[in-house]
Chains A and B, each alone.
Chain A
């Protein structure tokens, strides 16, 4: 038994090896984006006011990576229903969450 087999790391065929590569790419991208997020705050290299937009962009990028790689959302036909469900939920959530923030911020401004 080879070391790879002992560690449960051997691949059965090329297809499994390809899927593993895919997940590993996802892991590496996630780590890079996470490190970039923490670095943008902890190093203080970014000019003042740039940290928040940078964090939002990095989080969005990482969420897309997770959806594509770990949750298998793509543009092929059999995934289209999953994607439509996701986009419709984001639309509803966007209206509710953005509306909440807008209304409450407006109220706060008027109370000042």
Chain B
């Protein structure tokens, strides 16, 4: 098995470690796919509610494309920063600060995403676009909020991994955990692609 084909960050020290880590990663894929089903069904609910504004604020009122564009860039940057943290972990396991530095880049970028999203949420409440106003707004808050909660959870996870790297260093177990966190993180960016195109851009198209 060439290193190119194994998951990023997997450059484990002992024989047999790769295989065990691959099994855990496959199990984590199963979790991510169950999460994909959850997101997909909330998307479907949003699809059934897309026109049901009940005279309240619609897509034109809630969509701030500049903010959505900046959020998209920040989340993509966070995903990319995490990739480079994975590469640092794989090729430079001796210097933990290098991995931690890129993790910090990923976390800061994602924090910026969340701040802008909360500013948007606040703006929605001030124009009366609250979840109880219409079916469209309930579905919008559920979908965008669910994704935001996942990002917030990911940030907590990243903080926990940072603590573990500081305490234990880049051991095989930690590398395996960070690799699984990477799957989660890149998956959230995939979901965001669906949200910015199908919810925000399609809403005002």
Contacts and interface: CB of A to CB of B under 8 A. Distances in A.
B40 interface: yes
A51 B37 contact: no
Interface in A29-53: 30-31, 34, 37-38, 40-42, 51-52
A19 B205 contact: no
Contacts of A12: 91-92
Interface string A9-20: 001110110111
Closest 10 CB pairs of A and B: A51-B205, A97-B44, A59-B197, A70-B186, A104-B48, A89-B33, A93-B40, A100-B44, A16-B91, A12-B91
Nearest to A96: B41
Contacts of B45: 100
Contact of B87 (A23, A55, A56, A63): A23
A93 B39 CA distance: 10
A4 B116 CA distance: 32
- Residue of A62, A70, A76 with highest tally of chain B CB at under 10 A: A70
A101 B48 contact: yes
A3 to B, nearest CB: 15
Contact of A19 (B4, B69, B80, B204): B4
A70 B189 contact: yes
B interface, by DSSP: helix, strand, loop or mixed?
helix
A37 to B, nearest CB: 5
Interface of B: 1, 3-8, 22, 26, 29-30, 33, 36-37, 40-41, 43-45, 47-48, 65, 69, 72-73, 76, 79-80, 83-84, 87-88, 90-92, 98, 101-102, 183, 186-187, 189-190, 193-194, 196-198, 201-202, 204-205
Given A16-B87, A85-B30, A104-B48, A72 B7 contact: yes
Given A23-B83, A34-B76, A67-B190, A55 B202 contact: yes
A76 B5 contact: yes
Nearest to A23: B83
A83 B201 CA distance: 29
